Amino acid sequence: MKFLRYRGANNYLLPNLVELHWEPTFTDTLLDIDRVLCPRLSHLSMILLSGKLVEQFLATISRTRPSLTSIQLQVDINPADVTWQSILSRFVCAFPTLASLHLTSAIDADAILHLGKLGGFKSLTFDMRDASFLPAGLPRGKIFQDLSAFEFTGLRGGGNSLDPVTNLIQSWDRSPLTSFKIDFMSSPSATSLEALFHALSEHCSHDALYTIEITLSFTQIPDTHSLVSSRGWTHLLLFPNLSSVQLLCRYRFDDEDMHAMATAWPKLKTLELMSPRQNDPSITLRALLSFARHCPQLESLQLSLDARIIPALPLNEDVCLRHPTLRLFLQESLITDAHAVATFISHLFPNISYLHSLDPEDMKADAEDPEFVTQHRQFELWNEVGRLLRGTKEDNDVKDAR
């Protein structure tokens, strides 16, 4: 049984309760949790305001619920407050069977070491202002042998370096990570991001990782400072079982990069590549040929490409029979001949179900601006491609029905 919302009670007996979301209305109800009798409770989620009673509340939880395996704690405190960091760290260290932890504030190195040495600890999530509050001085390659999921969210207004996250990864002992997610609302340097990818390749099992999502802010940082080079992102090619990849950051990918991704990740189902506006993208329609040949499970593809030059169709090679229905999302992609592009794409992906291109009106551009006129024409051409592809798919469906 799950009890998702709870705001105070008196001597409740809930023998089958396993999950509790505790959100007290007033601080004087905090200590009421001691009166909730739930011997099977394993997951506790709490939203708390800072205050003296919170410290007593956390002490009560650690004393009466030492067998919790999953904790999600949102506390409204200053992450730089060393006193509160110590309180939260002692709280975390009180649970010997913890398997999952989600915090909105930092904990010290001792608490990280405690988590890293727990057998069966699998999921760690930090949702805080920036990475600088993560502890330093952790032993290299010694902890988190069972970690399977890691997520870090840095809110806008924080620092712009991912180095503290990289230092944390470097403490991992070939963790069997299956999911790695970074959502950082600042723009770290390309050097910082490349160091992160390198650490990931050195301190995680190459065979376990299925999902990687990197979302970074694009604003206010020059391209030369934050443009990800091929040397940086190719560390990710060491993970052959990736099925979902999302890289929303500054990059300059080309067809060779797309071919490297397609051949390195044959189990790929979703690929999202988004970068700040590129007037002349280096990816062409040849990239689609690489994905058609090497990624038979591909279901969703998002990128910017230059479709003005149509490659020769591989008539002597059938590359399209194994593919599922594909959704194609195009960001500011260039095109001049809708019919030729539709013919090329339909040959590779006859089951394409959705094609979306960026509408310049969504960007609230000036309709009198010549650049807007050009972009709107591109949008109309891609709409025509989508219409032609839908007609091709309907024809194929009719043939299959016969």
The pLDDT tens digits for 165-197 are: 999 999 999 999 999 999 987 778 888 888 999
Average pLDDT over residues 251-266: 92
Average pLDDT over residues 264-282: 82
The pLDDT tens digits for 75-94 are: 777 767 788 888 899 999 99
Cβ(334)–Cβ(378) below 8 Å: yes
- Give the whole-angstrom CA distance, residue 127 versus residue 124: 10
Band the pLDDT of 233: cuts 50, 70, 90. confident
pLDDT for res 160: 65
| C-alpha closest to that of 161 among 123, 194, 205, 127 | 194
Does the domain at 96-401 match CATH 3.80.10? Answer given as yes
Report which of residues 188 and 27 the model is more confident about: 188
Average pLDDT over residues 53-63: 82
> Does residue 143 carry a pLDDT above 90?
yes
Band the pLDDT of 202: cuts 50, 70, 90. very high
Q: What is the pTM of this model?
A: 0.87
Which sequence spans correspond to the domains of the chain?
A: 1-95, 96-401
DSSP label at 204? B
Q: Which residues contact 397 (CB under 8 A, 6 or more apart)?
A: none
Cβ(325)–Cβ(352) below 8 Å: yes
**Chain mean pLDDT for the chain:** 82
DSSP 129-154: S-GGGS---PPTT-B-SS--EEEEEE
What angle separates helix 338-348 from helix 370-401, to the nearest 10 degrees? 40
Cβ(285)–Cβ(265) below 8 Å: no
> Does residue 220 carry a pLDDT above 50?
no
Residue type, 76: D
pLDDT for res 402: 45
